[in-house]
Structure 1
Amino acid sequence: MPVWLNGAFELGLLYSLMALGVYITFRILDFPDLTVDASFTTGAGVAAVLITNGTSPWLACLAAFGAGAAAGAITGLLHTKGKINGLLSGILMMIALYSVNMRIMGKPNIGLMGTDISTVFSGVKVLVLMPIVVVIIKLLLDLFFKTDLGLSLRATGDNERMIRSFGTNTDTTKILGIALSNGLVALSGSFVAQQSGFADISMGVGMIVIGLASVIIGEALFGAKSVFRATLAVVLGSIVYRIIIGLAYQSEFLEVSDLKLITAVIVIIALVFPSLQKSWKQKRLARKRTASLLSSMEQRGGGR
């Protein structure tokens, strides 16, 4: 396997947890949450600080998940209880978290490369550990979405007014969903920091776009007819996205600084293609109906 392809699989698995988090807000709750760009860094920063202070890397990952979930819960509270627009709630929390992340880390960058520092990847390869972690979390999510609480969460995104008429507190389900989403995003950040060997204050910039790209590509290629299939599509979409980025880098005309442009183009294509495909199908059906109608008229005319 080429080195770049091996790296694409590693990054795809590492960022797939972040993509699953984006899937929860973007697809299930239909909530435009920009907290992701900052909660990713929160997870990386919390894990890095704890690990460098001698905490078990797995406990550091759990703490990162909790910190991200807390940030997501605050975004949910701003939206549901503070009655602030969803998009604005995420933006406000993203801005606030920049300062919080600096407080947590104490400096813009924390290294995790020392010989006395142990991470979850110490003595084990990413391609050995991460598939196990991703599969476990994916299956736990699938089970959760089949529970009464999980079904309420899904119903809130589908038809909030209807589910509220059945006595469900949609504010609670929204807060829970956004918290769970950002918890997964922060967990992904903690794994990425440990794999890359550092946590940086700006490492979360653009995460929402990468997450959306993974979700949209996965759904376009693998479908999303059930929760099990949808979460699997998101994980595979994250890997496919990284492979596309890797292929783009093989071109002599593109540089590392073009990553954001490539990502934007991929998302645009992924968003536009389904609508174009639907339009093509409608036109093809219309042509078939017209041809069938003309054929029927000719047969009637010939019969006379």
Structure 2
Amino acid sequence: MSLEILYGTMEIGLIYALVSLGVFISFRMLDFPDLTADGSFPLGGAVCGLCLYMGVNPWLATLYGTLAGACAGMITAWLYVRLNILQLLASIIVMIGLYSINLRILGLAPYLMNETPRMSGSPNLPLLDAHTIFTPLVAEDFSNQFIVQPLLILGFVIAGWMFLNAFLNTQKGLALRATGANARMASAQGIATGRMVILGMAISNGLIALGGSLFVQTQGNADISIGVGTIVIGLAAVIIGESLMPAKRMWIITLSVIFGSILYRLFIAVALGNQTLQNIGIGTEDLNLITAVLVTLALVLPKQIKKWTRRGGAS
């Protein structure tokens, strides 16, 4: 594996670490099966891309993309809390709706810039000449791009990890954790569980959309298809991290999620670059299949290892 590929893998792994932290909040902490991630990830990218295309400050554009994702999470939670729609169904409704909204957002930029007379949806938005958060730090010949971008994204991941751990140790954070652990008990203690679910889903999808905002800035375009499989990738990172770093302290658990995301991308890079697998026809088109196999192994292997250990001890 070349150094450039390694840096690129680390870059994508760090971006999806933010996604994995968001998925951890919804699936593990709130026990909320949330498929909104497949819509909020490209939503963050679409809103950020729209702002960048119109010349908005890239830091503000990244913030707007994050807030858009938080709003999507709040809508999903509101459908569940206020309208009593099943969790999974509520997230599917929002995910489907966001697909059309994202198409509209991506097609809005050329219309607002008077480049087209009619406002219509678009599956992608080019950002090759846009000013991003990486632009001031990247050399004119792009010689340091493969180092600068992962380091800056690492700063976002560390900041997100520190914010999340600090929040979870506050009164609101403890109430959020209690809501996910036992909603009836939390409600009996006077916690507004509905508000906690809405808050948790907002933070979850805000982190996911932040990942989408950073992703489009590294790729040079915003595309409607970047959200495909987001939830699977996030779950894979969570499962791999928890399997390799089992812990009870929250800061270690969230750290394991970040490492799980990086390791997942490394596994993918090694699998796609393996000569033996290439010889039998495995290529980039099999990315989702490799992901499914990795998730299955991460779910099954820890249980099987425990069984083998118990049998060995008994014998």
TM-score by length of 2: 0.88
1:195 and 2:195 correspond = no
Query: How many matched pairs?
Result: 285
User: Structure 1 CA distance, aligned partners of 2:101 and 2:232?
Assistant: 22
Equivalent in the alignment of 2:284: 256
- Bigger Cα displacement from structure 2, 156-165 vs 190-199: 156-165
- 1:251-297 per-residue CA deviation (whole Å, 9 max, x = no partner) reads 22421100000001111111112222232334344x25xxxxxxxxx
1:27 and 2:28 correspond = yes
Please, which of 127, 134, 149 is the counterpart of residue 121 of structure 1? Answer: 134
- Bigger Cα displacement from structure 2, 93-102 vs 125-134: 125-134
Counterpart secondary structure, 1:209: helix
**1:214 partner amino acid:** A
Q: Structure 2 matches for 1:166-185, cutoff 5 A?
A: 166-185=189-208
Please, which of 271, 280, 302 is the counterpart of residue 308 of structure 2? Answer: 280
User: Structure 1 CA distance, aligned partners of 2:101 and 2:4?
Assistant: 37
- Bigger Cα displacement from structure 2, 217-226 vs 171-180: 217-226
Shift of 1:4: 2.0
Equivalent in the alignment of 2:116: none
User: Structure 2 CA distance, aligned partners of 1:203 and 1:131?
Assistant: 21
Equivalent in the alignment of 1:291: none
- 1:67-94 per-residue CA deviation (whole Å, 9 max, x = no partner) reads 0000000000111111111111111110
**1:121 partner amino acid:** F
- 1:231-250 per-residue CA deviation (whole Å, 9 max, x = no partner) reads 11111111100000000011
- 1:193-243 per-residue CA deviation (whole Å, 9 max, x = no partner) reads 000011101110100000000111111112232111011111111110000
Shift of 1:121: 1.3
Please, which of 225, 235, 247 is the counterpart of residue 248 of structure 2? Answer: 225
User: Structure 1 CA distance, aligned partners of 2:238 and 2:12?
Assistant: 15
User: Structure 2 CA distance, aligned partners of 1:65 and 1:224?
Assistant: 29
**1:182 partner amino acid:** N
1:213 and 2:246 correspond = no
**2:294 partner amino acid:** I
**Unaligned 5+ runs, structure 1:** 289-304
**2:199 partner amino acid:** L
What value does the CA root-mean-square deviation take over the aligned residues? 1.2
User: Structure 2 CA distance, aligned partners of 1:174 and 1:280?
Assistant: 39
**Unaligned 5+ runs, structure 2:** 108-121, 139-147
Equivalent in the alignment of 1:86: 87
**1:259 partner amino acid:** L
Change (3 A) 1:129 1:274: same
Equivalent in the alignment of 2:141: none
Q: Structure 2 matches for 1:66-145, cutoff 5 A?
A: 66-106=67-107, 107-114=122-129, 117-122=130-135, 123-124=137-138, 125-145=148-168
The higher radius of gyration belongs to 1
User: Structure 2 CA distance, aligned partners of 1:72 and 1:143?
Assistant: 21
Identity of aligned residues (%): 47
Equivalent in the alignment of 1:237: 260
TM-score by length of 1: 0.91
User: Structure 1 CA distance, aligned partners of 2:244 and 2:303?
Assistant: 14
Equivalent in the alignment of 2:185: 162
Counterpart secondary structure, 2:173: helix
Shift of 1:160: 1.1
- 1:144-202 per-residue CA deviation (whole Å, 9 max, x = no partner) reads 00001000111111111111110111111111111110011011000000000111011
Equivalent in the alignment of 2:113: none
Counterpart secondary structure, 2:225: coil
